[in-house]
């Protein structure tokens, strides 16, 4: 039997990043598993929180795709210039060669899991 890989909340560190991709405010990000655990096809697996009026600015993906799974809160998701409202339970998927961003336009914290899948 292979060794079970597990991380716990007390083992992980939350870091703050300001003006991500030119966006307003800051995000709080928590790496859920290490790069070694992710392997070659997963570029990112993070829990990300945005306070009201904070955002991840528009950015493009090349050689990879990114998914956001909204866990809490509401926001405005933008992809290639088209914006749609998102809320808890929604999943967005930005394909390779496209760009996207996310703004918390609600009154509560927006929490999501972000996954980057490499080609």
Q: Is the confidence at residue 5, as pLDDT, over 80?
A: no
Nearest to 33 by CA among 23, 21, 24, 43: 43
**High-pLDDT (> 70) share of the chain, %:** 96
| Bridge partner list, 118 | 64
Q: What is the mean pLDDT of residues 98-107?
A: 98
What pLDDT score was predicted for residue 39? Answer: 87
Q: How many CB atoms within 10 Å of residue 22?
A: 11
> For the whole model, what pTM was predicted?
0.91
Distance CA 1, CA 9 (A): 25
38-87 pLDDT, tens digit each: 889 999 999 999 999 999 999 999 999 999 999 999 999 999 999 999 99
């Amino acid at each position: 039997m292979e060794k079970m890989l597990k991380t716990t909340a007390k083992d992980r560190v939350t870091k703050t990043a300001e003006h991500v991709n030119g966006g307003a405010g800051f995000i709080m990000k928590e790496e859920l598993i290490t790069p070694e655990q992710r392997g070659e096809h997963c570029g990112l697996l993070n829990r990300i929180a945005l306070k009201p009026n904070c955002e991840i600015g528009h950015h493009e993906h090349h050689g990879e795709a990114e998914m956001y799974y909204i866990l809490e809160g509401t926001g405005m998701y933008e992809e290639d210039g088209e914006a749609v409202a998102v809320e808890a339970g929604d999943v967005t998927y930005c394909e390779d060669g496209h760009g996207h961003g996310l703004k918390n336009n609600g009154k509560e914290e927006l929490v999501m899991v972000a996954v980057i899948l490499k080609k």
